[in-house]
Amino acid sequence: MTDSKSSTVGGYLAARLAQIGLRHYFAVPGDYNLVLLDELLKNRDLEMISCCNELNAGYAADGYARASGGASAVVVTYSVGGLSLLNAVAGAYAEDLPVIAISGGPNTNSTAEYELLHHTLGKVDYGYQNEIFARVTAEAVIIQHAREAPYQIDHAIDTALSTRKPVCLEVACNIANAPVSAPNPKIFTDCPTCDALALDAAVEHATELLNAAAKPVLLAGGKLRSAHAIEAFGKLIDTSGYAVASMPNAKGFLDEEHRHYMGIYWGPVGSPGCGEIVESADLCLAAGPVFTDYTTTGHTTIANPEKMINVQPHSVVMPGETYNNVPMARFLSALAPKLKKNDASLIAYRRIAEERMPLQPGPADTPLSTRQLFARVQGMLDGKASVIAETGDSWFNGMQLDLPTHARFEIQMQYGSIGWSVGATLGYCIARPDRRVIALIGDGSFQLTAQEVSTMIRYGTRPIIFLINNGGYTIEVEIHDGPYNKIKNWDYAQLLSVFNAGDGNGMGCRAATEGELDAAIKKALAHDGPSLIEVMIDRDDCSKNLLRWGAHVAKNNSRPPRSIM
| Residue ranges that bind ligand TPU, judged by CB under 6 A | 390-394, 416-418, 442-445, 468, 470, 472-476
Catalytic member of 443, 452, 478, 534: 443
Partner that binds at residue 393, options ligand TPU, Mg ion, none, CB closer than 5 to 8 Å by kind: ligand TPU
From 374, 377, 378, select the one nearest 393 (Cα to Cα). 374
Catalytic member of 38, 53, 119, 299: 119
CB of 275 to ligand TPU, least distance (A): 24
CB of 444 to Mg ion, least distance (A): 5
Stretch that binds Mg ion, among 68-76, 448-456, 465-473, 555-563 (CB under 5 A): 465-473
Catalytic member of 58, 221, 275, 472: 472
Distance CA 359, CA 126 (A): 59
Catalytic member of 109, 118, 131, 382: 118
31 is an active site residue: yes
> Given the complex with ligand TPU, which of 267 and 392 has the nearer CB atom?
392
Query: What does the radius of gyration of the chain's CA atoms come to, in whole angstroms?
Result: 25
CB of 195 to ligand TPU, least distance (A): 39
> Given the complex with ligand TPU, which of 130 and 394 has the nearer CB atom?
394
476 is an active site residue: yes
CB of 484 to Mg ion, least distance (A): 13
416 is an active site residue: yes
**Per-residue exposure over 165-204, b if at least 16 CB sit within 10 Å of its own CB, e if not:** bbbbbbbbbbbbbbebebbeeeeeebebeeeeebbeebbe
CB of 420 to ligand TPU, least distance (A): 8
Task: Show the 3-state SS of 232-289.
Answer: HHHHHHHHHCCEEEECHHHCCCCCCCCCCEEEECECECCCCCHHHHHHHCCCEEEECC
Whether 422 and 453 have beta carbons less than 8 Å apart is answered as yes
> Given the complex with ligand TPU, which of 229 and 479 has the nearer CB atom?
479
Stretch that binds Mg ion, among 121-129, 269-277, 296-304, 471-479 (CB under 5 A): 471-479
CB of 488 to Mg ion, least distance (A): 12
Backbone torsions φ then ψ of 9, nearest 5 degrees? -55, -50
543 binds Mg ion (CB under 5 A): no
Task: Show the 3-state SS of 178-246.
Answer: CEEECCCCCCCCCCCCCCHHHHHHHHHHHHHHHHHCCCCEEEECCCCCCCCCHHHHHHHHHHHCCEEEE
CB of 275 to Mg ion, least distance (A): 28
Distance CA 325, CA 142 (A): 30
From 559, 390, 373, 549, select the one nearest 478 (Cα to Cα). 549
Q: Which residues have a Cβ under 8 Å from the Cβ of 355 and sit 6 or more positions away?
A: none
443 is an active site residue: yes
Candidates 30, 98, 105, 442: give the one binding Mg ion (CB under 5 A): 442
> Given the complex with ligand TPU, which of 375 and 487 has the nearer CB atom?
487
427 binds Mg ion (CB under 5 A): no
Task: Show the 3-state SS of 12-75.
Answer: HHHHHHHHCCCCEEEECCCCCCHHHHHHHHCCCCCEEEECCCHHHHHHHHHHHHHHHCCCEEEE
444 binds Mg ion (CB under 5 A): yes
Angle at 126 between CA 125 and CA 131, to 5 degrees: 105
118 is an active site residue: yes
Partner that binds at residue 416, options Mg ion, ligand TPU, none, CB closer than 5 to 8 Å by kind: ligand TPU
Candidates 470, 500, 543, 545: give the one binding Mg ion (CB under 5 A): 470
> Given the complex with Mg ion, which of 63 and 442 has the nearer CB atom?
442
> Given the complex with ligand TPU, which of 40 and 453 has the nearer CB atom?
453
222 binds Mg ion (CB under 5 A): no
Residues that bind Mg ion (CB under 5 A): 442-444, 470, 474
Residues catalogued as catalytic: 31, 54, 118-119, 416, 443, 470, 472, 476
